[in-house]
């Protein structure tokens, strides 16, 4: 009972003090130093967002260009070309024959040999070499062209034109081959075809007036002669 009375008395004293000294109110409400008691706010952390994995498509590997011949033969061919550029035809010939001994189907070696023999006027060997190159690889444009020159020397103009035509299909931007084809068409009096091919050569070399002049000459022939029906 005495404890209850004591609590009531203390409450009464506190009430009187607050009425008399209002500044004590802030002490009661705030801290003992009079400043507001800082309330700790616990922030709830947001759950980390899951990073979306982007599927990166795998890029296709760049296809490796497979060499036409074995590494050894490719090296011999490179050496032969370099030797030939240095005007050492005999040594180049030996290297090319060495390449053929390793790979009997080495069309590049046969084609270059054909050029060497042609330059020496050994036309029979040159012709055989070109034919071998074409037999093993029909995309040998230089061999088709070289063979055409030999056929032209044999006065086989239609056959020569056919070979040069094949060469120009392999390399349609070769203006020298195009001119030779047009020249053969002129000899065969196939003027319409000659005009067309001379113009193709001129398109490859716009700065070269000769092809334009030859095309004009062929057009004049076309107007003054009946077209040849030979194929």
Domain end residue (candidates: 163, 181, 211)? 163
Q: Does the reported pTM lie above 0.85?
A: no
Residue 128, domain CATH: 1.25.40.10
User: Could you tell me if 98 and 76 are in contact, meaning their C-beta atoms sit under 8 angstroms apart?
Assistant: yes
Answer yes or no: is 147 within a domain. Answer: yes
Confidence bin at 225 (pLDDT 50/70/90) = confident
Domain end residue (candidates: 163, 190, 210)? 163
Q: At residue 93, does pLDDT exceed 60? A: yes
pLDDT digits (tens, 9 = 90+) for 99-157: 999 999 999 999 999 999 999 999 999 999 999 999 999 999 999 999 999 999 999 99
pLDDT digits (tens, 9 = 90+) for 159-174: 999 999 999 999 999 9
Residues 86 and 106 occupy one common structural domain: yes
3-state secondary structure 140-207: CHHHHHHHHHHHHHCCCHHHHHHHHHHHHHHCCCCHHHHHHHHHHHHHCCCHHHHHHHHHHHHHHCCC
Q: How many domains does the chain have?
A: 2
Answer yes or no: is 6 within a domain. Answer: no
- Domain span including residue 183: 172-226
Pick from 8-22, 43-57, 69-83 the range whose average pLDDT is largest. 69-83
pLDDT digits (tens, 9 = 90+) for 4-45: 556 565 656 655 555 655 554 554 454 544 444 454 545 555
Answer yes or no: is 61 within a domain. Answer: no
């Amino acid at each position: 009972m005495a404890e209850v009375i004591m609590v009531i008395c203390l409450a009464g004293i506190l009430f009187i003090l607050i009425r008399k000294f209002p500044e004590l109110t802030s002490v009661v409400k705030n801290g003992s130093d009079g400043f507001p008691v800082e309330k700790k706010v616990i922030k709830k952390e947001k759950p980390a967002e899951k990073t979306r994995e982007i599927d990166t498509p795998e890029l296709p590997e760049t296809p490796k260009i497979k060499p036409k011949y074995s590494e050894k033969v490719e090296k011999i061919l490179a050496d032969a070309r370099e030797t030939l550029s240095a005007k050492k035809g005999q040594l180049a010939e030996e290297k090319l024959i060495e390449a053929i001994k390793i790979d009997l189907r080495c069309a590049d070696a046969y084609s270059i040999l054909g050029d060497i023999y042609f330059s020496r006027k050994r036309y029979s060997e040159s012709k055989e070499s070109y034919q071998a190159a074409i037999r093993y690889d029909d995309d040998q444009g230089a061999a088709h062209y070289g063979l055409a020159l030999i056929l032209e020397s044999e006065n086989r103009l239609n056959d020569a034109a056919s070979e040069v035509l094949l060469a120009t299909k392999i390399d349609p931007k070769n203006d020298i081959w195009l001119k030779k084809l047009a020249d053969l068409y002129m000899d065969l009096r196939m003027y319409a075809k000659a005009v067309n091919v001379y113009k193709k050569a001129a398109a490859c070399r716009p700065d070269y007036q000769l092809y334009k002049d030859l095309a004009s000459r062929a057009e004049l022939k076309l107007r003054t002669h009946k077209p040849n029906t030979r194929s």
